[in-house]
Amino acid sequence: MAGYIQYLKTASGILKIAETVTVAITFGLFRGIPLTFGDTHHFAGNLGTDTDFFAGGVMVTALIVTPLFFVFYLLGRKEIKKTGMEIVLNFILSVFLFISGSLCLAFYNSAPLPSPWNSRDREGVTMGVFCYISASFYLADTLVALKNFCRKETETDA
């Protein structure tokens, strides 16, 4: 039990929780209100746009991969740190969330917004800002994972 609590106090543990919460909030805004990430001239009914599919896919991937890493680390599985996979996935998610946030903010800051999105500009900007916050958490987690990878931990390290 002490190992679980010890991981929760590390930078990696705190970042995993922050990443999951911010991506979940972003996804909740996207699907719950609902909002778009832009380019509504291709919007047909409930299908969405290419930017929606891209950003939605990035968020779903983050909501699957991050809790998996979190659970593995809670269970004491440290083999992942030796592969470099966490570094690559964190960096890709950071870049893709930054792109999603940029597309979102570009759309909601354009004037004039097409109907029905003109009444949802505050929520859309909030969604874009949460994408940026999530991207910054993933970038920080990339650096932490890179530090852990370069440290060459042994099996007996805590």
Considering the domain boundaries, does residue 63 fall inside one?
A: yes
Residue pair 118/155 in contact by the 8 Å Cβ criterion = no
Residue 155 lies inside a defined structural domain of this protein = no
CB atoms near residue 150 (< 10 Å): 9
116 falls within a domain = yes
Q: Is residue 61 included in any domain, yes or no?
A: yes
Each residue's pLDDT expressed in tens, for the chain with a length of 158 residues? 666 778 889 999 999 999 999 999 999 999 998 888 876 555 555 556 788 999 999 999 999 999 999 999 998 888 888 889 999 999 999 999 999 999 999 888 876 766 666 778 889 899 999 999 999 999 999 999 999 889 865 444 44
Number of domains in the chain: 1
CB-based contacts of 93, cutoff 8 Å, min separation 6: 58, 61, 62, 65, 66, 135, 138
Is residue 156, in this structure, part of any structural domain at all? Answer: no
Asked if the structure places residue 52 within a domain, the reply is yes
Domain extent, residue 96, equals: 2-35+48-150
Distance CA 136, CA 5 (A): 24
Token pair for 17: 């929780």
Q: What is the spatial distance between Cα 32 and Cα 114, in angstroms, rounded to a whole number?
A: 20
Separation of CA 85 from chain center: 16
Residue 56 lies in a domain: yes
Q: Give domain status of residue 6, yes or no.
A: yes
pTM confidence score: 0.87
- Cα 40 from Cα 131, distance rounded (Å): 19
Would you list the DSSP string of 43-59? --TT---HHHHHHHHHH
Separation CA 140–CA 134 (nearest Å): 10
Q: What is the CATH number of the domain that holds 78?
A: 1.20.120
